[in-house]
Every structure is written in structure tokens, then in C-alpha cells.
Amino acid sequence: MADVKLAPGAEEVAMAVMISDMLKANIEKPEKLKDFNKLKARVYIQAKDAETEMTMVFDRGSLTVYGGKEGNPDISIITDAATLLDLANINIKYGMPWYFDETGMAVVKKLLKGELKLQGMLTHYFALNRLTKIMSLN
């Protein structure tokens, strides 16, 4: 059974509550639970337009969500709220995030334009891949 919890104070950050609830629902699917159980990473997310931030600390089968920046992240995602929704709508094909459809191409364009900043993308590629798979609503 996966363990997803909010750190003290995180319940006051709407994005932290929303994403932790989404992840709880997603990891009920066996293929997403498998990736969740392998993921060990600290992920920082900032929605600049909503002036909100959070940190997710994954530790192979457990997740603690903080309402703000906590520690030194392995992966940082800095963008606007609409792009965060696009990231949650990335399709998964052949067990990998699919960037060759309309949603995926929109994410790639925002990355190239600098509207989406992904730090740790190359150094933590496998963790980012697992994160994308478990956060995807598809």
C-alpha cells in the first residue's frame, strides 16, 4: 500500500492538496503504483502565475508533500498553472510519456520557449520519466 501524506501546513496550499489527491487516485492503477514504488526523488513545483509552490519527496513507496520549497530538489518544474495541467494530460504510450501528439507538442514548445523550466531533466531523466507517468491522468 502506497503512503501519501501532507506535511504540516501543506493542507493550506491548494496545489499541494490537489496534486496529492490526484496522485493517490493515480497510484491505484497497478502500472502507476509500480513506478511510484521505484521513484526516489525530491521534486519542486512552482506555478508562477498562481504564486504557489510545493515540494514532493518520493521515497520508494511513500510520498510527503510540502507546501513550499523544502530542501534541495532533484527536479524543479517552474511554469504557469495551465502548463501544469498540460503536464498532467501527457499521454503514456508504450510505457513512456508521449510527446508526439497535440498535448505533448505543446509541452515541448513551452519548454523550448522557456515558458516551462525543467531543471534536473537530464541528470534525473529516469526519475522525471517515472514522475511524468504517475502524474499523468491518462
> How many domains does the chain divide into?
1
Instruction: Give the pLDDT confidence of 46-79 residue by residue, as tens digits.
Output: 999 999 999 999 999 999 999 999 999 999 999 9
Which regions in the chain score pLDDT beneath 50? none
pLDDT of 94 reads 85
Tell me which residue range forms the domain holding 104.
3-135
pLDDT of 61 reads 95
| 62: CATH | 3.30.1050.10
Three-class secondary structure assignment of 27-63 = CCCHHHHHHHHHCEEEEEEEECCCCEEEEEEEECCEE
Count how many Cα atoms sit within 13 Å of the Cα of residue 117 in the half-sphere of its side chain: 9
pTM of this structure: 0.93
pLDDT of 1 reads 62
